[in-house]
A = this chain, B = another copy of it.
Amino acid sequence: MLNILVLCTGNSARSILAEALLNARGDGRIRAFSAGSSPTGTPNPLALETLVANDLPSDGYRSKSWDEFAGPDAPELDAVITVCDSAAAEVCPVGPGAPVRAHWGLPDPADIETVDAARKAFADTFRALDARILALLAALQGSDHVALQSAFDQIKLQDF
């Protein structure tokens, strides 16, 4: 099981969508979490609406501080993905530990005034994240054999 933490600033929109998608598409291989450097305290209702519209569970999501993943009882993380918008000069948080790091910059769909435009922005964000996550999983599937071969090669070098 690979533990992946998705970080953004508010942990209310992009990181919630990415957490939901990683868990849904990961098919038991991935356990995803999300957190923010300055959590808003509540998942954006349009994020939950977007999950429902795409037949994904929308229960149990919380907007929470990344501090929850810094303590001794926190899950050991294999990867951290930041989904804040570098182009908008957002401060992207850096998480604890030494996991693999990736930055998937995406504009904030919550940063839009009219509801109709925001709803479309959430749908676009969902699709962009889904495409990346499906590509990541496909790449990971191929990498499994690379990892196995590497592990067997290390064994060969040892003396049993």
Number of interface residues of A (CB under 8 A): 32
A155: Cβ under 8 A from any B Cβ: yes
- Shortest C-beta distance, A85 to chain B (Å), equals 14
Contact B128 A155 (CB under 8 A): no
Residue of B nearest to A29 (CB): B1
- Shortest C-beta distance, A115 to chain B (Å), equals 26
Q: A29, A151, A158 — which one has the most chain B CB atoms within 10 A of its CB?
A: A151
Number of chain copies forming the complex = 2
| A154→B145 CA distance, assembly (Å) | 15
A2: Cβ under 8 A from any B Cβ: yes
Contacts of A145 in B (CB 8 A): 78, 99-100
Residues of chain A from 112 to 160 with CB closer than 8 A to chain B in the complex: 128, 131-132, 135-136, 139-140, 142-152, 154-156, 158, 160
A56: Cβ under 8 A from any B Cβ: no
| A135→B156 CA distance, assembly (Å) | 10
Given contacts A2-B148, A100-B149, A135-B158, 6 further A-B contacts (CB under 8 A): A78-B145, A131-B160, A139-B152, A140-B148, A140-B151, A146-B150
